[in-house]
Amino acid sequence: MLYSMTAFATSPILLTGMSGAGLSTAARVLEDKGFYVAHNLPPELMVQLFDLCADDNSPVDKVAVVADVRSRMFGGSILSAMDELKNRNMPVTVLFMDARDDVLIRRFDSVRRTHPLQEKDTLQVGIERERAAISALKERADVIIDSSNLSVHDLRRAMEASFGSTGLDKQHVTVESFGFKHGAPRDADLVLDVRFLPNPYWVPELREYRGTDGPVADYVLASPAAHSFIANFEKMLDSMLDGYRHEGKNFITVAIGCTGGHHRSVAISEELARRLRIRDELEVTIMHRDFERS
C-alpha cells in the first residue's frame, strides 16, 4: 500500500529517546497540538496504526507514536518499521529526546525509580545499556532535543518551536538564542557566536532591556558587522539547504550565542528569523533559551 501524503496534515511523528529525558512531557505537548498519540506500541503495530490513520475515512490527520524502552522489548525493529513506512511513501519524522547521564541519574533519584534496563546493576549501567541499544535510532533522528538544561516550560517551548506549524513540503528552521555562560545547546546543527559585536550590557540605559526591545535591537543592528554577519550566514545557509534536503534533513536548528543570552544573540536571532520567514520554502520559528535567566 502506498500512502497518500494528503491523508495527513503533517508528517507522522515517532517520539523516542532516553528514559527520563522528557518523553512524557513531549507527548503531552503533541496531544495539545491535536496529535493522536499512541504509547508503547510494538514496532509491528506502528505500521498498522499508520495504515489506519492514512485511510480516507480516518478521523485522525495528525498522529504520533511514543516508542520508549518498553516498546523495544517486543520483537521487530523500529528501524525496519521506519524503512517499511519510507518505502510506502510515508516517512516518519523522528523526534529523539536526550539528556546527559548525570541529569538522568538525578531525575531517577528524585522520583525514587529504577531504570527499566538497570536490573540488579547500578543506575549508570542501565543508562549505558539504553544508550547502546538506541544509538542507531538517534543517528536517524530528524530532531534531537537535549533536555539537560531545560525546565518543563522550556521543553514545551522547544517542542512548539519545532512542531508548532510544520508542513510536509517545507524545511523547518528553528533559530535559537542562548548565552554561552549557560552552555551551548547540545542539539543545535549550527552554532554561531556573536560575542564580537558591541555589547549593550555595558550601556547603562540599555542593560535592563532585552534584544526584543527596540532600543537594544537598534543598538545591535546599527553595527555594520551585524549586517555583514547576517548576510554572510544567509549565503552559507543557502548553500546548505539543498544538501540538507537531499539527505532527508528537514529540521535545522541554528543556535546564536552571546555571553548571557539577553541582548546580542536575541537581536540577531530576531533579525535572522525575520529575513528567513520571507522565503516560501521555509517554516521558521524562534526561541530564546536564556531570555529570562539572570
135 a known binding residue? no
- β-sheet bridge partners, residue 258: 179
Q: 230-248 burial string, b = 16+ CB within 10 Å, else e?
A: beebeeebeeebeebeeee
69 a known binding residue? yes
Question: CA 142 to CA 247: how far, in whole Å?
Answer: 11
71 a known binding residue? yes
Give me the residue label for grid cell 537531499: 246
Query: Per the structure block, which three cell numbers stand in for 188?
Result: 543545535
Question: CA 282 to CA 241: how far, in whole Å?
Answer: 10
Give whole-number Cα distances, 271 to 138, 232, 284, in Å.
32, 13, 12
- How many other β-carbons are positioned within 10 Å of the β-carbon of residue 107? 16
Angle at 69 between CA 63 and CA 74, to 5 degrees: 85
284: nearest Cα among 247, 237, 248: 237
Question: CA 294 to CA 292: how far, in whole Å?
Answer: 7
Whether the Cβ atoms of residue 89 and residue 2 lie closer than 8 Å to each other: yes
131 a known binding residue? no
Q: What SS3 class is residue 7? A: helix
Which residues carry a binding-site annotation?
A: 68-71
**Binding site residue list for GTP:** 68-71
